[in-house]
Amino acid sequence: MEIQIKNVQFRLEAIHAERLPNPQASNVLNIIFNVSIGSNFSIKGEVVELPFTISITSTPPILSISLRGSLVLQLSQSDIEKLSKLLSEGKVPMQIQTLITQYAIFESGLIARELGLPPIIPIQLQHDRNRNVEVKYYA
């Protein structure tokens, strides 16, 4: 089901981030990413507000980020009815999940950077023939 969104806004109400001491060095960093979309949405006119919570941790434990906020959507009345029905049934459309996840990845990358952590999303692995080494690029 495709929803025609007129306007999108994110509101962050709480941010918690910390860089944890890591006594063990490791070349592998696993990121655990959890998005929870609340069922207690509100509708005011053409505006739907969906609360969400995002939790990001790592293994080994060097990073912990929690974001709590709301996705605010301006929709037509027919789309509000469709979305309201789906959300009441406990179903979140993929379009909404994608919006929140993309926002969360972007924000968590900025926060991790402020904590002095390297970028967590590898883009590409290339081989530099001049120096005979592999180069990894990050976003």
Mean pLDDT by 10 residues, the chain (139 residues): 87 93 72 87 92 90 92 92 90 90 89 81 54 53
The superfamily CATH assigns to domain 5-138 is SecB-like (3.10.420.10)
Strand partners, 54: 35, 67
What pLDDT is recorded for position 139? 47
Instruction: Tell me the HSE value of 97 on the side-chain side, using a 13 A CA sphere.
Output: 11
Structure tokens at 85: 């029905």
Q: Using omega within 30 degrees of 0 as the cis cutoff, is the peptide bond preceding 118 cis?
A: no
Residue tagged 């590898």 (tokens): 122
Q: Classify the C-alpha dihedral 79-84-87-91 as positive or negative.
A: negative
Sequence spans of domains, the chain: 5-138
What pLDDT is recorded for position 74? 94
What is the enclosing helix (H) or strand (E) of 74? strand 63-75
